[in-house]
Amino acid sequence: MADEVSVLVEGGKASGGPPLGPALGPLGVNVGQVVAAINKETAQFQGMRVPVVVRVNPQTREFTLVVGKPPVAALLLKEAGKEKGSGKAKTEVVGDVSLAAVRKIAEAKGTDLFGRTIEQRMNQVIGTCTSLGLTVDGKDPRAVLGERTGRASGGAA
């Protein structure tokens, strides 16, 4: 049975300091190697917090990484170039993302999302845009969902 250490690290910026170093030290693994591997695997998520699980085999001291994906909201905010979403989501717009970015996020998150098809997953990502105060290609996300599903839109952002 492997020992596990679960941490949240900033993409590409893990270090041997707390919380990672102190948790890995007693397991006898080379902390520098683990940190380098984590930074390589999370580099694409610069500026976002990424869940990482380090599994260490106690006999061999070998490790494997399980790198999670940032939340949809964090990926959308990165695409929009924003630090945070709106405090008044349905009335205040703080940024815009493209439908292509929505597709990219839906594909990246894959089965982490509820939809069975890419279209259903994209709709879930578009729904998150509403909560964050982001438009999609300059349109209210509810209107975009309405266009995609054939239903009337929910109003203007």
DSSP calls for 18-75: TTHHHHHGGGT--HHHHHHHHHHHHGGGBTSEEEEEEEE-TTT--EEEEE----HHHH
Mean pLDDT to the nearest integer, 22-44: 92
Query: Is the pTM higher than 0.75?
Result: no
The more confidently predicted of residues 47 and 141 is: 141
Q: State pLDDT tens for residues 95-145.
A: 999 999 999 999 989 888 998 999 999 999 999 999 999 999 999 999 999
pLDDT higher than threshold 80 for residue 44 = yes
pLDDT at 111: 86
Domains and CATH numbers, the chain: 3-67 (3.30.1550.10), 72-149 (1.10.10.250)
